[in-house]
Chains A and B, each alone.
Chain A
Amino acid sequence: MTQPAIEIRGLKKKFWGFQLGPLDMTVPQGGIYAFIGPNGAGKTTTFDLLMGMGKEDEGTIKVFGLDHHKQEAEMKARIGYVTPDLNYGAWKTPKRLVYFLRKFYPDWDDDYCARLLERFGIAWDEWIPKMSFGSKIKLAMAMALCHRPDLLLLDEPTLGVDAVSKKEIFSELLAAVQEESHTVLISSHGLSDLERFADHIGVIHKGKMILEGPTDTLLERFRLAEFLPSNGLATHRSDGFYPQPGKQDRFRAVLDIEQYSKERLEQMGASEITMVPISLEDLFVALVREEG
């Protein structure tokens, strides 16, 4: 069995008013893993802990089998990291930044770097502090890719960028995965994009992983059902049963069909049942929306 790109077990971190975990997460090698969750769910905290910014209370994190504390340097050499919070302003220009960064990475590819900067429309002597937010993200993206990492960690890489830039970023991501066999762990709120690109999905809510698996399998597993409930059918939210705003007399719910198949609903007294596939966005909303 291939070693996972990222293997998180029993990760816990407590803050004031928030606790991450215990979190288990497995990111397989190759492909794009979408790490999604509402604001404050713990996505960035997970990234931070993985990158050594803060120390977990409990649990282990391994990247390609490397312990994120004991083999920190080796691990980070294989990671490209992008977040809107990366501040390259201190280096002033991409030229100085590249001069600084390239020495850390044995596999730094100058030609590829030049191509990426050109593709993203970033000049070598452009003044970084004056760059737009989108350009800064693209610069961070380029810097993350230039050393051809095995794993790309992207924390909200498309936050605040325009549609064209977003397309460029995703295009470069796909190329990186296809041509270089990179693994990509991305957190983003652009669920429609992720549905198209992501091979795996992990949904985190209130610090806990509530759903994880291959995208196709997960989307196959859930259906939006409409039916006429009987008097005895319990229609409150439960595991695998997520009520949605209804239509007149018909009841709507997102269902995990492994638990609530059509046959089971019929046995429970529901009638006139229809089931249709749902989008990732609908599934996400159903999973994280509070009842009532």
Chain B
Amino acid sequence: MDWRLVEDFLWRWWWALGLAFAWTALNSASVSRLFPMLLAIIYAGSLFDGEFNRKKNFRANRMLPVQGDRFGVTYWGLFIILPTVLVGLGAGIGLLFNREANPSILLGACSGVLLYQSFLFLTLVTRFVPSRIATAAFFASVLLIIQIVLGWDKSTEWRIVLYALTAITVPISFLFSGQIATEYMNHFDSRQGANSRGSIGYSNDIGAWNWFNASPITQGFVGVVFLVAVYLCMTSVTKLITSRLTGWSGTDLATSPSGAWMISPFFLIFGLIVPIILILHWGSAMRVWRALPMTSTMFAGWLLGWQFLLALASVTGIAILDFAWGRTVPGTSFAFLTLLALASISTATAACLYWGYFVSLISALSVSLCLLAVFSLGWLGFLTLWGIILYLGTVSSYRLLTKTSYPFRADWGPGR
């Protein structure tokens, strides 16, 4: 088995998870309009973040003999089309397959993306590079103004403009999605320029068939099929689980007992923003990590250790929210279950990486046990598993992270 596949899988996991949440939200009639907009901004912001802060690269690119606006279209444009793919296409599919979906979701999504694009072009043309905090504050205030003061979603003109712009940007996004993803993955390459011929980067060269080396059209097609599959799987599984737990039919999130998690600030902060920022933060040091005396497997374990900690933070945040809102069984939350599974995968994998064997087997077993316990044993099963996860995850992650007693260490180095 090529462990690089595992590495690659780990990175994509977070994005697939985020996509699934985003599309679930977009496909629902009950979610606040603000949520898709926030998602659009978070995704766009996270994609842009790496390049945005590489001022050296920014300066270098600004020296190209290209007008600011053209420059934005040709280069930065690639990075802002992806959120359009996620949100615009997601909303479009949502509308196609769910006739009850509220068109204002699409409007919200489009306006979020277009707002971001406008802001980005503005920064490129004016050459003003604001801090991330300033950027976030700007978006928050503009969104609030649009949402509260202008009441834009009631305006027919706004709708026409936004639909038209979406109709133009979504097909373009589809065609370029493969290229965008390639550019994006080069972030993890940690090279100075994402446009360098550095596509050899960590996640770009894995397996026999390499999605990143396929033609853009093939990439776009396979990518969309993959995302739709992830979306369908995630929503089906979460609906199934929730219906088993609560008796809810699973047809409308608005009537679900835990649909509110989607707009919870805890979910946004712990489930999306913190993990994305941390992963990007550590991802920038990918070359350092790959130079360490670890096999790909150990490296995967390390990443999983981090994932576990992040997932734990997410789950804890949502659990606090659940308890604060008076829900008696924390396992009824979609996010909780999903992240519990993630925590379980991470813990099991981190733990077995520490011990060295059967990554996929233990992971799968762990997830099954976890879900089974929640289903059948209620609070007792939940608390038992929580304890095991907490203990195993913390110990193994800590050891993986600090290497204080790493078992492979004695076998390393010359003369050993």
User: Is chain B found bound to chain A in the same assembly?
Assistant: yes
CA distance A88 to B289 in the complex (A): 10
Contact B200–A77 (Cβ < 8 Å): no
Are B190 and A85 interface neighbours, CB within 8 A? Answer: yes
CB-CB contacts below 8 Å: A40-76 with B: 40, 44-45, 48-49, 51-55, 72-76
Interface-lining segment among A29-37, A98-106, A224-232, A241-249: A98-106
Question: Is A74 a contact partner of B281 (Cβ separation < 8 A)?
Answer: no
Q: Cβ of A91: which chain B residues have Cβ within 8 Å of it?
A: 285
Tell me if A222 counts as interface (CB < 8 A to partner B). no
Q: Which of B190, B200, B292, B293 contacts A49 (CB 8 A)?
A: B200
Residues of B within 8 A of A86 (CB): 190, 287-288, 291
Identify B285's interface contact among A52, A84, A89, CB under 8 A.
Answer: A89
The answer to whether B290 touches A105 (Cβ under 8 A) is no
The answer to whether A127 has its CB under 8 Å from any CB of chain B is no
**Contact of A88 (CB < 8 Å), options: B191, B213, B288, B298:** B288
Give the residues in chain A near B413, CB-CB below 8 Å. Answer: 74, 77-78, 105-107
- Contact (Cβ within 8 A) B205 A74: no
CA of A125 to CA of B414, assembled, Å: 31
Query: Does A76 contact B293, Cβ atoms closer than 8 Å?
Result: yes
Knowing A55-B206, A90-B281, A106-B409 touch, does A83 contact B295 (C-beta < 8 A)?
Answer: no
Question: Which listed segment binds B: A12-20, A183-191, A259-267?
Answer: A12-20
Q: A48-B200, A77-B293, A87-B287 are in contact. Are A55 and B416 (CB under 8 A)?
A: no
Q: Given A16-B199, A40-B197, A103-B402, is A90 in contact with B282 using a C-beta cutoff of 8 Å?
A: yes
- Tell me how far the C-beta of B60 lies from the nearest C-beta in chain A, rounded to whole angstroms: 13
Question: Smallest distance from the beta carbon of B265 to chain A beta carbons, Å?
Answer: 27
Distance in Å: Cβ of A49 to nearest Cβ of chain B: 7
Name which residue of chain A comes closest to B205, CB basis.
Answer: A54
**B61, CB-defined interface residue at 8 Å:** no
B412 touches A52 (CB 8 A): no
Interchain nearest-CB distance for A63 vs B (Å) = 11
Chain A's closest residue to B182 (CB) is A16
Say yes or no: is B62 at the interface (Cβ < 8 Å to chain A). no
The contact of B293 among A44, A73, A83, A88, by CB within 8 Å, is A73
Residue A77 contacts which of B2, B189, B284, B412 (CB distance < 8 angstroms)?
Answer: B412
Tell me if A120 is interfacial: C-beta within 8 Å of chain B: no
Question: Complex: how many Å from CA A92 to CA B34?
Answer: 36
- B181 CB, nearest partner CB in chain A, Å: 15
Q: Is the CB of B206 within 8 A of A78?
A: no
Which residues from B are CB-within-8-Å of A72? 293-296
Is residue A212 within 8 Å, beta carbon to beta carbon, of the partner chain?
no
Answer yes or no: B201 CB below 8 A from chain A CBs. Answer: yes
A161 to B411, CA, bound (A): 37
- A78 nearest CB neighbor, chain B only: B414
A256 in contact (CB, < 8 A):
no
State whether B285 touches A88 (Cβ < 8 A): yes
Interface majority SS (helix, strand, loop, mixed), chain B: loop
Interface string of B197-240 (1 = CB under 8 A from A): 11111101110000001000000000000000000000000000
With A73-B412, A74-B412, A107-B413 as known contacts, state yes or no: A90 contacts B285, CB within 8 Å.
yes
Given contacts A78-B413, A105-B293, A18 and B197 within 8 Å (CB-CB): yes
Distance of A85 Cα from B290 Cα, bound (Å) = 12
Asked whether B296 lies within 8 Å of A52 as measured between CB atoms, the reply is yes
Shortest Cβ gap from A156 to chain B (Å): 12
Max count, chain A CB within 10 A of own CB: residue among B4, B292, B406: B292
Judge whether B155 is part of the interface by a CB distance below 8 angstroms: no
Cα separation A84 to B284 with both chains bound (whole Å) = 13
* Distance of A73 Cα from B213 Cα, bound (Å): 28
Contacts of B201 in A (CB 8 A): 53-54
Q: Restricting to B268-315, which residues have a CB under 8 Å from any CB of A?
A: 281-282, 284-285, 287-288, 290-296, 298
In the complex, A66→B290 CA distance in Å?
Answer: 17
- With A53-B287, A73-B298, A86-B288 as known contacts, state yes or no: A104 contacts B197, CB within 8 Å: no
Residues of chain A within 8 A of B282, CB atoms compared = 90
Contacts of A75 in B (CB 8 A): 293
CA distance A45 to B404 in the complex (A): 33
Q: Which residues of B contact A104 (CB under 8 A)?
A: 292-294, 403, 409
Find the residue from A74, A84, A101 having the highest chain B CB count within 10 A.
Answer: A74
Whether B294 contacts A76 by the Cβ 8 Å rule is: yes
Contact present for B291 and A81 (CB under 8 Å): yes
Bound Cα distance from A78 to B403, whole angstroms: 18
Residues of B within 8 A of A49 (CB): 200
- Please, what's the 1-or-0 string for B18-31, where 1 marks a CB less than 8 Å from any CB in chain A? 00000000000000
Smallest beta-carbon distance A160→chain B, Å: 10
Which residues from B are CB-within-8-Å of A44? Answer: 198
Query: Do residues A83 and B197 form an inter-chain contact, with CB atoms below 8 A?
Result: no
Q: Check A73 against B202 for contact (C-beta < 8 Å).
A: no
Instruction: Give min CB distance, B216 to chain A, whole Å.
Output: 11
Inter-chain CA distance A52–B293, complex, in Å, is: 11
Tell me which of A18, A54, A75, A105 has the highest count of chain B C-beta atoms within 10 A of its own C-beta: A54
Measured in the bound complex, the distance between the Cα atoms of B10 and A66 in whole Å is 27
Return the chain B residue nearest A148 by Cβ. Answer: B414
Distance A234 CA – B154 CA, assembled complex (angstroms)? 81
Q: Which of B281, B402, B412 contacts A106 (CB 8 A)?
A: B412
Q: Would B192 and A85 count as touching, CB distance under 8 A?
A: yes
* CB neighbours of B391 from chain A (8 A): none
**B402 proximity list for chain A (CB < 8 A):** 103
List chain A residues, Cβ under 8 A from B288: 86-88, 90
Residues of B with C-beta under 8 A to A89: 284-285
- Nearest residue (CB) in B for A39 is B197
Interface string of B163-207 (1 = CB under 8 A from A): 000000000000000000000000001111000011111101110
Q: Contacts A15-B199, A55-B205, A106-B409 given: A85-B416 contact, CB under 8 Å?
A: no
* B205 neighbours in A (Cβ, 8 Å): 13, 54-55
Binding site for B on A (CB under 8 A): 13, 15-18, 40, 44-45, 48-49, 51-55, 72-79, 81, 83-91, 101, 103-107, 150
Would you list 7 pairs from A and B whose C-beta atoms are within 8 A, ordered by A residue? A53-B287, A55-B205, A77-B293, A77-B412, A86-B190, A86-B288, A87-B287
Name the 6 nearest CB pairs between A and B, nearest first.
A77-B293, A54-B200, A54-B205, A103-B403, A76-B293, A77-B412
Further pairs besides A16-B199, A72-B293, A74-B412: 10, Cβ < 8 Å: A13-B205, A18-B197, A53-B202, A76-B292, A86-B190, A86-B288, A86-B291, A87-B285, A88-B288, A89-B284
